Structure 1
Amino acid sequence: MTYRQLRLKERSISYVCTTSHYIIPWNFDDPTTVHAELIKGEESHPLEYGEEFTVDCDEGMLTLLTDYNNSDSLHIFEGEQLKYIVKSSVKQSPKTLTRRLDDCMEEVNKIPPRIDRVEKEVKEEISKIPPKIDKVEKELKEEIKNTATLVQVHSLSLTDQIKTLDEHEKRLTETATKEDLSNLKDLYVTPDELNSILENTSSKIAKTQEAIKRLEQEIKDLKDASSSEVESLKKKLNNLVTVQEKLKKFEADIAELQNKPFVDLSPLNTKIDWVDTRIKALEARPPIDLTPIETKVKELEDIPDTLEKLKADKVAKAEIEKLESEVAKKEELKRLEAEIVKKADFDRLEAKAIEKKDLANLITTDGMRGYLEEHTANIEAEYKAIHARINTLEKTIENKIRSELRGRTTIRCAKLFTNYGLGHVIDATDIDNWQYPAENSGGHLSHSVASAIGLDAADKRRRWKVIGKTVGYYGSWHWLQEVID
C-alpha cells in the first residue's frame, strides 16, 4: 500500500519487536487517539485498532495482535490519523483469512459457557424462593403449635375436676358393694340438661360463623393491610383452628354416644321402691360440711398470679370451658351406663318396663334418639361449612403471599457509584440508575443514555444483592436482585 503521511505527531516512541506488550510512556484517556505502525525494512505498515492491536488506558499498555519478526520495529504515536493519497485496490492484511475465521470461532465458542453460567446463577437464585415460602409456612405451623400448648396449659385446670370425679367413683363403688343404689338419681343427665348442651353447641357454632365472616372481610382488606394487622389475622386464624379441633373432638364423642349399644334397664324395676327408700334415708342424713372447700377457694382467690393466669386469653378460655363441660358430661353419662350394666344382676331381675319416668325417658324413648340424630346432622352440616371456609381462607392467604412475591425476584442491571463484588448487599443509595450495557459502533460495551432509567420510590426502599457483573471497555455493570426478608 502506497500512502503519504499527513499527520502531526504529538507524542511518539519506537520499539524493536521482541514481545507482544509495549509500554506507552504518557497519559491518555481515549485509546482511539493512539496509533501504531509496523516498520519492515524501509516500508511502514499502519495497524488497525481492535484487529491488529489493542490499548489499555489504565495500564498504559499496547498489545500486538498481529504477527511480527524480530527484525521489525514498532512505532507508537499519538496524533492525527493517517490520510492516504494513493490506495491499492486490495488491502494486504498481515492475518490470513483462515486465522481470522478461527479467531471469530473462538469468540463464538466463549458465548455459550457465559450464557450457561448466567442461566445457572439465575436458577440458583430462583431455587431459593421456595425455601423462603416454606419458612413462612413453618412459622405459621409453629404459631398453631404454640396455641395448642396454651390450650394444654389451660387444660391443667381440670385436675381438680378429675379428682372430684375419682372421689365420686370411689363413693359409687362403695355404695354398690353395699347394694346401695340410692345415688342413681344424681348420676344421669336429664333430657333438659342434654337439650341445654345442644343449644350451647348451636350458639357456639353461630359465634364461629360470625368470626369467619369477620375474617373474610379482613382478608378483602388484606391488600393494604400493615404487618401488625397481618399478625392480628394470624392470631385469629389460630384461634379458629383451635375451635375447629375442639368441634371435631365433640363430634366424635357424640358419634360414640349414639353408637353405644342399647341398655335395657327394665330389670331394675323391682328395685325402684327399695331405691326410693334408700334415697329418703340419705336425705335424712346431716349435710356435708363444705367449710374446708370454701376456705381453699378463698385462698386461691387471694393469689394474684393465679387470677392473672385465669383471666388471660378470655375468649379462648371461654370456648375451652364450654367444650370441656360438654365433653365431661358425655363421658360421665357413658361411664354411668357402663357402671349400671356392670353392677346390675340381670339373671335375678325380671324383664319389665321401667315405670320411673326420669330413668325410662333417658335412653329408651324414641323421641330422645330422634332428637339426638337431628341435632347431630345439624352439627355435621355446620362443621362441613366451617371446614370449607377455612380451606378458602388458606387458599386466599397462599395467593396473597405469592402475589406479594411475584415480580420481586427479577434480575436487573444497574450502574453503581462503587464497584462491589459478588454477593455484596447494597442499598438504593449506591445505585446510579438502571441501565443495560450496549455495543457501540466500535464493537465495545459502553453506556446507553437512552436506556437509563431512574429509581422509583419502591426501589429506593429496598435492598439489593449483587449476583453478577459485566465488565466492558468503558465501564462495568452490576446485575442485582432484591433481597426479600
Structure 2
Amino acid sequence: MNIIDGIVNDLATQTKDVGRKLEQIDLSKLEQIDLSEMAVLTQKMNIVDGIVNNLATQTEVVGRKLEQIDLSKLEQIDLSEMAVLTQKMNIVDGIVNNLATQTEVVGRKLEQIASSKVEGLDPQTRKYLQDIQTQLTSDTLTLQLDDTRGYDSSIRFKDKDGALGGLIKREVKGNLTGLSIATKDKSGSLVDRVKFYDDKDVYINGQCFVKGTDTSIFDEIKRQLKPYILGLLLGRTMVRSANLREKASIGDIITGDKIAYWAYPSENGSGYISASATQEHTMAVSAENARKRWRIMGKTDSYYITLYWLQEVINFDD
C-alpha cells in the first residue's frame, strides 16, 4: 500500500511540474524556430500521447491486481504474483517519470516557435498553434465556433474600467440560431436588448417586434399600433352639445373649464327649445374633460338658450 501511495504522490508532483512548464510558454517570444525541428516536435508530441495511453493501460492493470489482493490472506499470496505486481508498479513509476521528461522537452520546443513562422508549419501543427492563440484572446474576440472548441462565439466590449460593458453573442433558440446584443442595465447587469434569429424573427427587450413571416417591418408596426391608436381615439371624435359660460364662435378652440355643463337641446310643452327643458337632461363636466381643449363645430340658437357643439382637439403628445 505504501508503494501505491508513493506512486500517487509522485504522479501529483509530476503533473504539477507539467503544469508549470506549460504556464511558461510565451508564444510572443518564439523567434528562433528551426523548421527542421518540427519533425522532432511532432515526434515528441506523439510520444507524449503514447505515454498517456500507456499510463492509463498500466494503471488499469495495477488496479485489477490490487482488487485481487485479500489483505486477510496475505500469508497465502504467491510470491511470484507479488513480483509481477511490483514489476507493474515500477513500470507505472517509470512511465510517470518519462511523461515529465518528455513534457519538459516539448515545453522547450514550444518556447522556440516564432508566431511569425506559423505559416511555414504543417497544417495540423499550424491549426494547433492558432487554436492556442485564439484561446488566449477569446475573452476579447472569438470569430468561429471551431476556435472555441464548442463554446458559443462572442464579441465582448469592455468599459474604461475594464469591466464587461457589452456583448454580441451567438444565440440559440431550439433549432434556430442568431445573434444577441446585450448591454448593461442600471444595476450593472448585462441584459439582452435585441435578438436576431435565422427565421428572421426580431426581439427587442424580450418581446417579438417583427415576425419572420411578416412581409415588412412597416406591416408589423401598423398591425401592432392599430389597436393602440384606435384605443386613443375611442369616444374622443364624437361631437357633444354643451352650455358655455361665455359666448364663442364656430371654429374657436376653448378650454374645458369654459363649459358650464353638457346638455342637449330639449323642447318645452309649447314646442320651444328652452333652458328649463334642456336642464332636465344635463351632465356635469369631469375634471379630465375640463383640462382638454375643444373646438366649436356648430351651435343651436333659440330664444331662451344657446348651445354649442364641441369636438375634442386631440393632441397625441398628451
Indicate whether the TM-score tops 0.5.
no
Considering fraction of residues, name the structure with more strand.
2
Structure-1-length-normalised TM-score: 0.25
Considering fraction of residues, name the structure with more helix.
1
